[in-house]
């Protein structure tokens, strides 16, 4: 984790730039925010203790100046991330200095500095003739690189630094390789350079080193072939001839001039080894990371085993063969290939006995000397390979038991195994699991197969086709071959043919290659319980699922569902992107849906009722709207409380899609009820867009639903969502509709909620003369119908109105009744809201210690119920109370936490309150510059027609900053 060069103190700040920009405080990884913010940090870190002006930063990191000055915002966020808790801004690692910023490097560790220290040690060892130490130290230095320096960061400054660091890496690599050549380690140099020299455009210095290594290894002809290849590519790509250094190396190889080439112990040419590797067809696309892992150096003292698994059609064989071709030259005793036919249509898997006889013949053992028993055959194979350094590819294995007897014994040998299953019974040094290609790589593969001119004219259709192929290499190659063979077809023609699930797999067939056949071969190898589970996944309402939702589909326990899912993961039919979360590849999902379509209607209906019933239980359990609208279901159910239901919903993903799927399954009442139940959960998390999307899907269905109250309830829900986001005109319209619908169906409870919504709009809009009698009326009806949620809201609103009038004791009396009601109901969300209100009143009247008690408990409960808006408000006010008690550091921490709880959908008035309070805290700390940033943000964001109270507080704050500045 970048902990090179000794122990790490608990608070040591460390940075890595030799790859993606990363930072740690002690052993804790820090979140550095969006890429442009990271670029600002990189620009400062790479100029330690130098003041960089805002103009330099803007010019170096943006192609054109941003519309607003975002640098202070980025710097503030970086300080929050990098500084220790309670650290004063003036002591920050990012110092504001003379119109710019300076990174204070004292006590900070940077991998670039460590790189230069190690490079100096290696250079000194090389100068004194200690080549072994030089090689080892150069190698250690190079290992500090873990990808492209400053990966993904934008800006001209970053690009310049990236080039500089990459040039530094290549220089260190050349010095290491040069020292290895002097030591006679020719095979090591050849293995490391072969892939690098094949890259475009070719590097002449690296090509020269490779030629010297090949010559030193007794491979003069191959050294000359390198020169020819590099020369042709230089002419084709750059229009230039090789430089002086490369031409001199060629001439020295032709003359056999060992001294000039720096070779003191040249080997004789080795005997020609057997090479059974299949030819590679076309360039491997989109698997650079996996290929680099497979061609990395293995253990020279033991047999290295690399296992490659993945979904059918992911390109496992192509990757293994490509890696084997890269590795072949390092294995002087041969490169062998065996197809074990574990998943081949019409073929039985190759037995270990048959495979061993074939391998023994490949290394020169006569048939007459081969025993019949498997154990004896395996022993003969180990004896025959004990002194050999082999490369062995075992393709398409069915099981670990098929592979284990085939492992050679020679130290330094390498085995690459491919299988659709995760061979957990096989001891492997490296495991690579293949899924879909990235979208860009998938498009590139299609373009190369069909031809760039055709692809360039239909870029959107190429992207659509890549998506319909699930970005699976086999599917992409079949689709590309079909377009090759039908020049009159366009990409869009094939997209149209594949857009229907029923036709998609059928279209992905070309002679003996078929995605559907590949999937069916894996499916047929499953046990009956696994087949049932896989077919049920075709009914899942979401792309991702867990053991709980699959248990509902299968009508079994979550533990049994998890067992079946893990078995399907091992069979590479199900992916596990995170612990306990599962998904199907797109084309595998099409196949699963086809299987689900063959299930009896009653089985499908029962499974859907159970799984959508699970989502309905979770939505209602996560809501605090109470039994008045959501009667508790019979039985304990899978969720014990609001928190665990909310946590489960957090992981689901696209909740509006669940509503859509329920509607398409014909479960209209359930779809509407799920949308209704989700409103409180989504609003607490400020996910208003999702909330409205789910309700808009359900609203047209409510007219046909059996539950007549849904027409009014869904309209109330839309009004509530708009009101929570501050869109009061829209909220009023939906509350009016809900009131009319509630009166039409004669439901007093729904009528009361709609009235409560309209009254809340009056309160927020400042029409307090209407809000007070309205809330009293709502309170009366809420008591009448037993709606505890609405009663608490009404009492809290009456308390707030009394607070605004300055009648603080009356406010606390209302809030005390609301608190008793919340505790009686047992709702942590209600109690959190009431405590926030009562804490605010006590803060206003100077009872700061009591305010702290209320607000601290409010924060705890708001976080427990994942109420983002309430968490932010309570934190900001708790910080203000702590400030009044003289706890400055605590106030800073709380109000910064409040600011980080703000999202893009948070009401501007809430963020304005937080910034006004944080500005006052900065003033108390003697930092008027930081305070002014917050007050100016409020005035700029709110505008002249914004929240009058917050604008007034911001203007007062600016006046105080000017007074503070004059005093300083």
911, 843: one domain: yes
Select from 637, 620, 616, 639 the least CA-distant residue to 629.
620
**Domain C-terminal end among 156, 183, 210:** 183
34, 165: one domain: yes
Q: Does 895 fall in a domain?
A: yes
Question: Residue 394: its pLDDT value, please?
Answer: 95
**Domain C-terminal end among 652, 673, 704:** 704
Side-chain-side CA neighbours of 801 within 13 Å: the count stands at 24
**What tokens appear for 292 in the block?**
């680099």
608, 588: one domain: no
DSSP E strand stretches across 104-149 = 108-110
Q: Does 257 fall in a domain?
A: no
Q: Does 898 fall in a domain?
A: yes
Q: Does 779 fall in a domain?
A: no
37, 91: one domain: yes
Q: Which domain holds residue 309?
A: 288-434
15, 145: one domain: yes
**What tokens appear for 211 in the block?**
């030629």
Q: Which residues pair with 509 in a beta bridge?
A: 514
Interior angle at CA 556, CA 555 and CA 561, nearest 5 = 115
DSSP for 751-765 reads HHHHHHHHHHHHHHT
883, 920: one domain: yes
Question: Residue 6: its pLDDT value, please?
Answer: 45
- Reduced to 3 states (helix: H, G, I; strand: E, B; else coil), residue 634 is coil
Instruction: List, in sequence order, the alpha helices (H) in 845-907.
Output: 848-864, 868-884, 888-900
SS3 content of the chain, % helix, strand, coil (to 5): 60, 5, 30
The count of structural domains within the chain is 6
CATH assignment at residue 305? 3.40.50.300
Select from 873, 867, 874, 822 the least CA-distant residue to 853.
874
**Domain C-terminal end among 599, 623, 643:** 599
Q: Does 221 fall in a domain?
A: no
590, 607: one domain: no
627, 691: one domain: yes
Q: Does 765 fall in a domain?
A: no
> What does the DSSP 8-state code read for residue 268?
P
Q: How many CB atoms lie within 10 A of CB 15?
A: 25
**What tokens appear for 296 in the block?**
């990395």
- Reduced to 3 states (helix: H, G, I; strand: E, B; else coil), residue 308 is strand
Residue 299 CB burial class (10 angstroms; 0-12, 13-18, ≥19) = exposed
Q: Give the chain's radius of gyration (CA, Å).
A: 35
CATH assignment at residue 576? 1.10.10.10
Q: Measured between alpha carbons, how far is 703 from 312 in angstroms, rounded to an integer? A: 46
Select from 119, 263, 288 the least CA-distant residue to 189.
263
What residues of the chain score a pLDDT lower than 70? 1-10, 85-90, 200, 254-256, 264-272, 281-283, 366-369, 626-636, 945-946, 967-968
376, 294: one domain: yes
Q: How far is CA 874 from the centre of its chain?
A: 31
Q: Does 660 fall in a domain?
A: yes
333, 458: one domain: no
576, 669: one domain: no
Residue pair 324/277 in contact (Cβ under 8 Å)? The answer is yes
C-alpha dihedral sign at 455, 460, 461, 464: positive
Sequence-ordered list of residues with C-beta below 8 angstroms from that of 825, at least 6 positions apart, any chain: 626, 788, 789, 792
Residue 531 CB burial class (10 angstroms; 0-12, 13-18, ≥19) = middle
482, 534: one domain: no
Q: Does 882 fall in a domain?
A: yes
């Amino acid at each position: 984790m970048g902990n090179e060069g000794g122990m790490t103190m608990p608070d040591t700040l460390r940075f890595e730039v030799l790859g993606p920009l990363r930072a740690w405080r002690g052993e804790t990884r820090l979140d550095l925010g969006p890429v442009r913010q990271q670029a600002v940090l990189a620009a400062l870190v790479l100029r330690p203790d130098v003041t960089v002006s805002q103009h330099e930063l803007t010019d170096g990191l943006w192609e054109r100046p941003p519309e607003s000055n975002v640098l202070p915002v980025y710097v503030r966020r970086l300080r929050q991330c990098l500084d220790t808790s309670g650290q004063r801004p003036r002591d920050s690692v990012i110092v504001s200095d003379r119109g710019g910023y300076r990174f204070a490097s004292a006590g900070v560790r940077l991998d670039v500095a460590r790189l230069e220290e190690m490079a100096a040690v290696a250079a000194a060892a090389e100068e004194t003739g200690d080549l072994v130490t030089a090689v080892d130290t150069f190698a250690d230095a190079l290992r500090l690189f873990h990808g492209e320096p400053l990966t993904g960061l934008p800006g001209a400054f970053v690009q310049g630094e990236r080039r500089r660091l990459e040039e530094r890496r290549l220089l260190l690599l050349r010095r290491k390789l040069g020292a290895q050549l002097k030591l006679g380690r020719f095979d090591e140099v050849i293995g490391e350079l072969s892939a690098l020299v094949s890259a475009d455009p070719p590097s002449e210095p690296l090509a020269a080193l490779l030629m010297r290594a090949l010559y030193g290894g007794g491979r003069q002809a191959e050294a000359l072939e390198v020169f020819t290849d590099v020369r042709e590519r230089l002419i084709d790509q750059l229009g230039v001839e090789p430089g002086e250094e490369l031409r001199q190396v060629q001439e020295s190889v032709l003359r056999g001039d060992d001294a000039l080439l720096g070779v003191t112990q040249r080997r004789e040419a080795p005997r020609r080894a057997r090479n059974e590797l299949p030819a590679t067809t076309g360039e491997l696309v989109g698997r650079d990371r996996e290929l680099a892992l497979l061609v990395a150096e293995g253990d020279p003292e033991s047999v290295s085993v690399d296992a490659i698994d993945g979904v059918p059609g992911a390109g496992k064989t192509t990757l293994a063969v490509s890696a084997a071709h890269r590795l072949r030259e390092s294995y002087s005793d041969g490169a062998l290939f065996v197809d074990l036919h574990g998943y081949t249509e019409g073929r039985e898997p190759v037995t270990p006995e048959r495979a061993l006889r074939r391998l023994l013949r490949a290394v020169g053992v006569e048939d007459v000397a081969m025993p019949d028993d498997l154990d004896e055959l395996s022993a003969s194979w180990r004896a025959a390979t004990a002194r050999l350094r082999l490369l062995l590819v075992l393709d398409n294995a069915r099981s670990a038991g098929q592979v284990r007897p085939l492992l050679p014994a020679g130290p330094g040998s390498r085995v690459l195994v491919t299988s659709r299953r995760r061979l957990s019974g096989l001891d492997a040094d490296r495991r690579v699991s293949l899924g879909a290609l990235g979208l860009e790589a998938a498009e590139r593969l299609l373009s190369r197969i069909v031809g760039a001119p055709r692809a360039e004219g239909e870029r959107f259709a190429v992207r659509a086709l890549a998506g319909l192929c699930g970005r699976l290499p086999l599917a992409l190659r079949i689709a590309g071959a079909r377009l090759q063979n039908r020049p009159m077809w366009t990409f869009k023609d094939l997209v149209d043919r594949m857009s229907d699930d029923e036709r998609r797999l059928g279209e992905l067939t070309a002679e003996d290659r078929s995605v559907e056949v590949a999937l069916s071969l894996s499916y047929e190898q499953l046990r009956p319980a696994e087949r049932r589970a896989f077919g049920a996944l075709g009914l899942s309402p979401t792309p991702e699922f867990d053991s709980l939702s699959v248990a509902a589909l299968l009508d079994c326990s979550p533990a049994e569902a998890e067992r079946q899912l893990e078995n399907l993961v091992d069979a590479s039919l199900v992916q596990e992107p995170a612990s306990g979360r599962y998904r199907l590849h797109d084309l595998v999902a099409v196949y699963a849906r086809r299987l689900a379509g063959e299930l009896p209607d009653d089985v499908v209906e029962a499974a859907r009722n159970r799984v959508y019933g699970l989502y309905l239980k979770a939505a209602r359990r996560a809501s605090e709207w109470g039994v008045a609208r959501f009667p508790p279901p019979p039985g304990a159910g899978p969720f014990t409380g609001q928190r665990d239901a909310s946590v489960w919903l957090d992981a689901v993903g696209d909740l509006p899609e669940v509503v859509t799927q329920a509607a398409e399954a014909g479960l209209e009442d359930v779809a509407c009820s799920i949308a209704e139940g989700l409103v409180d959960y989504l609003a607490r998390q400020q996910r208003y867009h999702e909330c409205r999307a789910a309700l808009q899907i359900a609203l047209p269905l409510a007219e046909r639903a059996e539950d007549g109250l849904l027409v009014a309830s869904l309209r109330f829900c839309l009004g509530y969502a708009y009101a929570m986001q501050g869109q009061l005109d829209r909220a009023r319209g939906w509350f009016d509709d809900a009131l009319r619908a509630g009166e039409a169906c004669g439901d007093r409870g729904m009528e009361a909620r709609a009235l409560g919504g309209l009254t809340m709009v009056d309160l927020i809009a400042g029409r307090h003369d209407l809000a007070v009698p309205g809330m009293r009326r709502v309170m009366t009806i809420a008591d009448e119908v037993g709606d505890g949620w609405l009663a608490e809201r009404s009492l809290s609103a009456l308390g707030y109105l009394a607070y605004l009038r300055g009648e603080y004791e009356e406010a606390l009396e209302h809030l005390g009744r609301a608190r008793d009601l919340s505790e009686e109901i047992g709702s942590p969300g209600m109690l959190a809201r009431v405590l926030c209100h009562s804490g605010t009143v006590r803060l206003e009247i100077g009872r700061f210690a009591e305010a702290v008690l209320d607000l601290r408990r409010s924060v705890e409960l708001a976080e427990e119920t994942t109420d983002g808006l309430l968490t932010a408000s309570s934190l900001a006010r708790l910080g203000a109370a702590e400030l009044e008690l003289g706890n400055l550091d605590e106030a800073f921490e709380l109000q910064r936490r409040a600011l980080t709880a703000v999202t893009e959908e948070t009401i501007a008035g809430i963020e304005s309150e937080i910034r006004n309070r944080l500005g006052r805290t900065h003033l108390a700390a003697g930092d008027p510059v930081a305070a002014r940033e917050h007050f100016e943000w409020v005035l700029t964001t709110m505008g002249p027609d914004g929240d009058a109270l917050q604008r007034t507080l911001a203007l007062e704050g600016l006046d105080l900053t000017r007074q503070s500045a004059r005093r300083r």
